[in-house]
A = this chain, B = another copy of it.
């Protein structure tokens, strides 16, 4: 019954598969609760909708000059 919510930018199908599989496995080991009781939801947000330190990821990427 534990519930894991994951928020990030866009992910590939394989990354989402891996997240669901391995976050569940990891948490099940730590809590000693069987894997079938775990729920994972993944929310993919556009770069414009995710901000760090007052600036969006979109803005950070556009201003990044390596």
List residues of chain A with CB under 8 Å of any chain B CB. 1-9, 11, 13, 15-28, 30-31, 35-45, 48-57, 59
Q: When the two chains form their complex, are residues B38 and A7 in contact, meaning their CB atoms are under 8 A apart?
A: no
Q: Which residues of the other chain, B, contact A51 by a CB distance below 8 angstroms?
A: 19-21, 24, 38-42
Chain B residues positioned under 8 Å from A22 (CB to CB): 26, 30
A21 contacts across to B, CB distance below 8 A: 51, 54-55
Given A11-B31, A31-B8, A43-B43; A16-B48 close (CB under 8 Å): yes
Provide the residues of chain B in CB contact with A6, threshold 8 Å: 2-4, 27
A29 to chain B, nearest CB (A): 8
Q: If the complex has contacts A3-B7, A45-B43, are A38 and B16 also in contact, measured as CB distance less than 8 A? A: no
